Amino acid sequence: MILQSIWFFLWGLLWAVFFITDGFDFGVGTLYPFLGKSDQDKRVMIHSLGPLWDGNEVWLITAGGVTFAAFPLVYATMFSSLYTALMLILFALILRGVSFEFRGKVDSPAWRRLWDGCIFIGSAAPAILFGVAFANIFAGLPLDENHLFQGNLLTLLNPYGLLGGVLFLCFFLVHGALWLAIRADGDLQQRAVKSANRVWPVLLIVAVAFLLFSAKATPLYRNYLAHPALFLVILATVAGLLGIRFFLSKQAYFRAWLSSALTIAGATFYGVVGLFPNLLPSSINAEYSLTAFNASSSPLTLKIMLMVVLLFIPVVLVYQIWAYGLFTRKVTQEDLDLDVAY
Amino acid sequence: MDPVFLSRLQFTATTMFHFLFVPLTLGLSVLVAYMEVRYARTGDETYLRMTKFWGKLFLINFAVGVVTGITLEFQFGTNWSQYSGFVGDIFGSLLAIEASVAFFLESTLIGIWIFGWKKLSRMAHAVVMCLVAAGSNISALWILIANSWMQHPVGFVFNNGRAELNDFAAVVFNKFAVLQFLHVVPAAFVLAAFFVMGISAYHLYKKQHIDLFTRSFKIALVFGLIASIWVAVEGDQHAVYVTETQPTKLAAMEAHWDTQTKAPMVLFAIPDEKNERNLVEFGKVPGALSLLGYHDINAEVKGLNDIPKEDRPPVLITFLAFRIMVAIGTLLPLLTLIGLFIKNRLVENRWYLVIMMAAIPLPYIANQAGWLLAEVGRQPWIVYGLMRTSDAASPVSAVQVISSLVAFILVYGLLGSVGYYLIGKKAVMGPGPVEAV
Distance from CA of B46 to the nearest CA of A (A): 16
What CA–CA distance (Å, rounded) separates A338 from B115? 8
Which amino acid type is present at position B255? A
ipTM for the predicted complex comes to 0.89
Helix (H) or strand (E) holding B343: none
| Nearest Cα to Cα of residue B431 among B263, B250, B253, B200 | B200
Ranked by mean pLDDT, the top range of B152-166, B178-192, B420-434 is: B178-192
Tell me whether B383 touches chain A (CB under 8 Å): no
Distance from CA of B101 to the nearest CA of A (A): 6
Cβ–Cβ below 8 Å for B95 and A300: no
User: Measured between beta carbons, which residues in chain A are less than 8 angstroms from residue B56?
Assistant: 339-340
Option in B84, B115, B116 nearest A68 (CB): B84
Cβ–Cβ below 8 Å for A51 and B64: no
B197-252 confidence digits (pLDDT tens): 999 999 999 999 999 999 999 999 999 999 999 999 999 888 889 888 999 999 99
Cβ–Cβ below 8 Å for B404 and A77: no
| Nearest Cα to Cα of residue B219 among B40, B7, B51, B44 | B51
Cβ–Cβ below 8 Å for B81 and A339: no
DSSP per-residue codes, B87-117: HIIIIIHHHHHHIIIIIHHHHHHHHHHHH-T
A184-200 confidence digits (pLDDT tens): 999 999 999 999 999 99
User: Measured between beta carbons, which residues in chain A are less than 8 angstroms from residue B415?
Assistant: 94, 98
A233-262 confidence digits (pLDDT tens): 999 999 999 999 999 999 999 999 999 999
Contact, B430 vs B53, CB < 8 A? Answer: yes
pLDDT class for B437, splitting at 50, 70, 90? very low
Option in A58, A67, A322 nearest B107 (CB): A58
Given this model, what pLDDT does residue B436 score?
40
User: Measured between beta carbons, which residues in chain A are less than 8 angstroms from residue B13?
Assistant: none
Helix (H) or strand (E) holding A104: none
Tell me whether B64 touches chain A (CB under 8 Å): yes
Q: At what angle do helices A53-70 and A83-103 cross, to 10 degrees?
A: 150
B64-123 confidence digits (pLDDT tens): 999 998 888 899 999 999 999 999 999 999 999 999 999 999 999 999 999 988 889 999
Contact, B49 vs B210, CB < 8 A? Answer: no
Over the Cα atoms of chain B, what is R_g?
Answer: 23
Cβ–Cβ below 8 Å for B96 and A304: no
User: Measured between beta carbons, which residues in chain A are less than 8 angstroms from residue B60?
Assistant: 101-102, 105
Cβ–Cβ below 8 Å for A62 and B104: yes
Q: At what angle do helices B3-42 and B45-79 cross, to 10 degrees?
A: 160
What CA–CA distance (Å, rounded) separates A328 from A181? 10
Cβ–Cβ below 8 Å for A301 and B90: yes
User: Measured between beta carbons, which residues in chain B are less than 8 angstroms from residue A148?
Assistant: 395
Contact, A105 vs A99, CB < 8 A? Answer: no
What CA–CA distance (Å, rounded) separates A339 from A322? 23
Task: Read off φ and ψ for residue A141, nearest 5 degrees.
Answer: -105, 150
User: Measured between beta carbons, which residues in chain A are less than 8 angstroms from residue B103?
Assistant: 58, 61-62
DSSP H helical segments within A184-282, as ranges? 186-217, 221-226, 231-249, 253-275
Cβ–Cβ below 8 Å for A320 and B70: no
User: Measured between beta carbons, which residues in chain B are less than 8 angstroms from residue A149?
Assistant: 395
| Nearest Cα to Cα of residue B342 among B330, B356, B329 | B356
What CA–CA distance (Å, rounded) separates B126 from B137? 17
Option in B64, B165, B432 nearest A98 (CB): B64
What CA–CA distance (Å, rounded) separates B147 from B150? 5
More confident residue, B279 or A270: A270
**Would the pLDDT of B336 be above 90?**
yes
Distance from CA of B28 to the nearest CA of A (A): 16
Tell me whether B10 touches chain A (CB under 8 Å): no
Cβ–Cβ below 8 Å for A305 and B97: yes
A17-76 confidence digits (pLDDT tens): 999 999 999 999 999 999 998 999 999 999 999 899 999 999 999 999 999 999 999 999
Cβ–Cβ below 8 Å for B108 and A106: no
What CA–CA distance (Å, rounded) separates B64 from A95? 10
**Would the pLDDT of A341 be above 70?**
no
Which amino acid type is present at position A185? D
